[in-house]
């Protein structure tokens, strides 16, 4: 049985938060982050990594999408929210 590490859990929550941010345009990043932190499993996540990834990707998403856009095999409007969230997180971690 494999354990989910705190870092992996932080990344999962960061993707979830980035996804929620896309669906709730009017909700602030701070509110979204707090909603994620209220999840009962968040205590097992690396909170510092979550904060770095989520706020870093959220605050730099326009710049990141400019960098990602030429590498896509389709128009960015065709990305679903999960794909976009994963790409933003990955770009932030590079």
pLDDT, averaged in runs of 10, over the chain (94 residues): 85 96 86 93 95 96 94 93 96 92
Comparing CA positions, the residue from 67, 53, 54, 70 lying closest to residue 17 is: 54
Alpha-carbon span 24 to 6, nearest angstrom: 26
Where exactly are the structural domains of the chain? 16-93
Q: Does the pTM of the predicted model rise above 0.85?
A: yes
Alpha-carbon span 18 to 78, nearest angstrom: 17
Residue with tokens 């990955």: 90
Residue 4 has a pLDDT of 87
Residue 2 has a pLDDT of 60
Residue 1 has a pLDDT of 46
Comparing CA positions, the residue from 17, 6, 23, 7 lying closest to residue 57 is: 17
């Amino acid at each position: 049985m494999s354990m989910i590490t705190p870092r992996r859990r932080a990344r999962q929550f960061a993707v979830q938060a980035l996804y929620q941010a896309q669906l709730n345009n009017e909700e602030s990043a701070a509110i979204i982050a707090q909603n994620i932190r209220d999840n009962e499993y968040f205590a097992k996540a690396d909170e510092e990594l979550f904060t770095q990834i989520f706020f870093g990707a959220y605050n730099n998403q326009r710049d990141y999408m400019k960098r990602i856009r030429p590498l896509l095999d389709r128009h960015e409007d065709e990305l679903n929210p999960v794909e976009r969230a994963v790409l933003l997180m990955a770009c932030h971690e590079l």
